[in-house]
A = this chain, B = another copy of it.
Amino acid sequence: MNIDDLTSHMGAWLGGQGPHANVVISSRIRLARNVAQRPFLSTASPAQRRDIYESLSNEVARLYPINTSLFIDVDKASPLDRQLLVERHLISHHHAVSEGSRGVSVSHDESAALMINEEDHLRVQVLSEGLQLEALWTKINAIDDKLSDRIPFAFDKQLGYLTVCPTNVGTGIRVSVMMHLPALKWTKEIERVERATRDMRLAVRGQYGEGTDVVGDLYQISNQTTLGTSEEEIVEVFNNKIIPRIVEYEYAARETLIKHSLEQFEDKVWRAFGLLSNARCISTQETQTLLSPLRMAIHMDRFSVIDIQTLNDIFLQTQSAHLQKRAGTTMNGSERAIARASYIRQKLS
């Protein structure tokens, strides 16, 4: 697989199916690992960093045979390719813009990605559509076991896995769920949810993770600390308690909207459709903002002009790097806005 082939696929996490798919877009688990006897990247010299990169990419290549996966030298990749990987949630924004030897290995269906030399030597992530953290945990645990067989990870009996940032010390696990919460936003109950999640020491962020704003009512909810509790416990609480509870709140808020604000609900949905199917220039942010009520209405069986696959296709493909990769050329902001609007109209017509 070549990086240019990515735009012709959907990405495992955006299939629109899976448990609680009406509210939970995707689930993700990542592990932070560092190689024992090697300096943390925060103190490593460029040469040490290159050494780590080279030995880890060899190990990763053994784990993911080249013929079924994609390995990208992020340092040598073009800005457009890096942006594409961010848009597909395969690397972090930090990994795209930082410097020095670094890379990412992606499984053929994009359900797993291993970042080398992000903040830690190794960041392993697995992704899925819907809420299926337990399956993801089984999967990432197996990957971790395979890696551990060959790589001596920095581990302290008392503390657990050692990481650059203290919040990752311990299990090194981060569990994230991307939720679509338009009704909680509309009814302003989202503020209560945000307070409650903060009280539980969870982070609520935008869809591209740390430092990104919430756009299109997509909230990424994740654990903040990884010390003093087992991976299985974190996964279990997320998968079976916290997220299903928020899903219930969102459903209740949707019911409330239908019961008390049906006209405004339909107005919002159809206006969004009217703008998307007629605009001649449109930004990514406006696109995602307008897709939100349509996504909700489709999931509520209250809008049937397009299906969720078409919506997810628009969602993914109208991002800036996707547009430019498909066009085979770089474009400035207004050219992208025109190309984006044109793509959307074609999909909606």
Contact = CB atoms under 8 A, between A and B. Distances in A.
Interface size class, chain A: 20 to 34
A266 B282 CA distance: 12
A331 interface: no
Nearest to A278: B274
A275 interface: yes
A213 interface: no
Contact of A277 (B266, B274, B341): B274
A270 interface: yes
Contact of A263 (B274, B276, B278, B280): B280
Contact of A270 (B263, B271, B278, B337): B278
Total copies of this chain within the assembly: 2
Given A271-B278, A271-B280, 13 more contacts: A263-B338, A264-B281, A267-B279, A267-B280, A267-B281, A270-B279, A270-B280, A273-B278, A274-B275, A274-B277, A274-B278, A274-B279, A275-B275
Kindly name the residue among A270, A275, A338 whose own CB sees the greatest number of chain B CB atoms within 10 A: A270
A334 interface: yes
A36 B267 CA distance: 57
Interface in A210-247: none
Contacts of A273: 274, 278
Nearest to A338: B263
A107 B221 CA distance: 69
Nearest to A265: B280
A268 to B, nearest CB: 8
Contacts of A341: 267
Contacts of A282: 267
Which 3 pairs, one residue from A and one from B, show the smallest C-beta to C-beta distance? A274-B278, A274-B274, A267-B280
Contacts of A266: 280
Contacts of A280: 263, 266-267, 270-271
Given A334-B263, A338-B263, A279 B275 contact: no
Contacts of A281: 263-264, 267
A277 B278 CA distance: 10
A275 B275 CA distance: 6
A222 to B, nearest CB: 36
Contacts of A338: 263
Nearest to A334: B263
A275 B280 CA distance: 13
Nearest to A335: B263
A174 to B, nearest CB: 40
A273 to B, nearest CB: 6
A310 B270 CA distance: 22
Contacts of A334: 263
Contacts of A278: 270-271, 273-274
Interface string A258-297: 0000011011001101111111111000000000000000
Interface string A311-349: 000000000000000000000001001100100000000
Interface string A33-62: 000000000000000000000000000000
